[in-house]
Amino acid sequence: MVTRLENIILNPITCKKIKGLTGMEIEDVLKDITVLHNFNLPPNISWMRAVNRKESESCLENLTKWANQNSPKKVSAGGSLGEWVYRTRKNIFKYEYPEGFEKPDGTKPDIIMSLSPNAAQDKSRWRIPAEFPCCPTKLTETPLQDYFENLKQGKIFSKTKQYSSSVLETALHEDMIIVKGESREINAIKPWSLCTISFENNLFVHRVYMTCFRKESADKFFLVLQGRENEWTGGTVFDELC
């Protein structure tokens, strides 16, 4: 689940639009976000005027530190630096790592504990620990089936203080649940998402497969994840070209 400002920073098309409107690079805009009050911004990015100076300075500081690292954090395939970019150094999360996911070399796994009981998530694409309201609190002999039955259309799938998403459509395919979700935030740049849920070491492990600019992209890859790509008749979708 990506947030709006980090998408602005990483999206070269939108950055070019901002530069065309202001004559400034995105780094200079972040140094003084109030300059945007003087410009007539397009509706899809007009919300940036509400970002305060402290948030923009923290964002720029973390981006600069990230860029200057010897081994910088990788940008995910979905084009997101992760929501860590908004946080001051003292507020970066201390992750709780579950047992049973240790790597052979003894390094920390990508799997971290979520905020809901019995839930974990892959932090390589999902850095902020999230709540999963539909996640079963009691484990039975059919854990995935139980979770699948809880995921009704319109229910909240995941949430943090920064974002939340609702269930659009689900599928139980082999050993995983596939969730097509929609952001509940107004003017989200990538409103649609595809996530998978597997049951590993007595935990429901949530992974982000991709986030999408357009719903048709989520529709296509919802089929692809089920091995039903031959049912898609819409050809190449926008998010395949990004």
Read off the pLDDT of residues 138-165 as tens digits, 9 standing for 90 and up: 999 999 999 999 999 999 999 998 889 9
pLDDT of residue 62: 65
Give backbone dihedrals phi and psi of 199, rounded to 5 degrees, phi first: -115, 110
Statement: residue 238 has pLDDT above 80: yes
Q: Cα 188 from chain centroid?
A: 11
Q: Cα 29 from chain centroid?
A: 24
In angstroms, the Cα distances linking 236 to 49, 59, 60, 161, 242 are 35, 35, 35, 35, 12
Q: In angstroms, rounded to a whole number, what is the distance separating the alpha carbons of residues 223 and 200?
A: 24
Confidence of residue 66 (pLDDT cuts 50, 70, 90): low
In angstroms, the Cα distances linking 93 to 27, 112, 169, 234 are 25, 11, 31, 41
Which residues neighbour 213 within 8 Å (Cβ) at sequence distance 6 or greater?
Answer: 189, 190, 192, 238, 239, 242
Statement: residue 174 has pLDDT above 90: yes
Supply the Cα-derived Rg of the chain in whole angstroms: 19
Most confident of 11-15, 36-40, 142-146, 187-191: 142-146
pLDDT of residue 38: 76
pLDDT of residue 64: 67
Paired tokens of 145? 């089936």
Paired tokens of 210? 């991709």
> Are residues 153 and 168 in contact, defined by beta-carbon separation less than 8 angstroms?
yes
Tokens 């630096």: give the residue: 81
> Are residues 141 and 226 in contact, defined by beta-carbon separation less than 8 angstroms?
no
How many Cβ atoms are within 10 Å of 93's Cβ, its own excluded?
Answer: 13
Q: In angstroms, rounded to a whole number, what is the distance separating the alpha carbons of residues 192 and 68?
A: 32
Statement: residue 203 has pLDDT above 50: yes
pLDDT of residue 222: 98
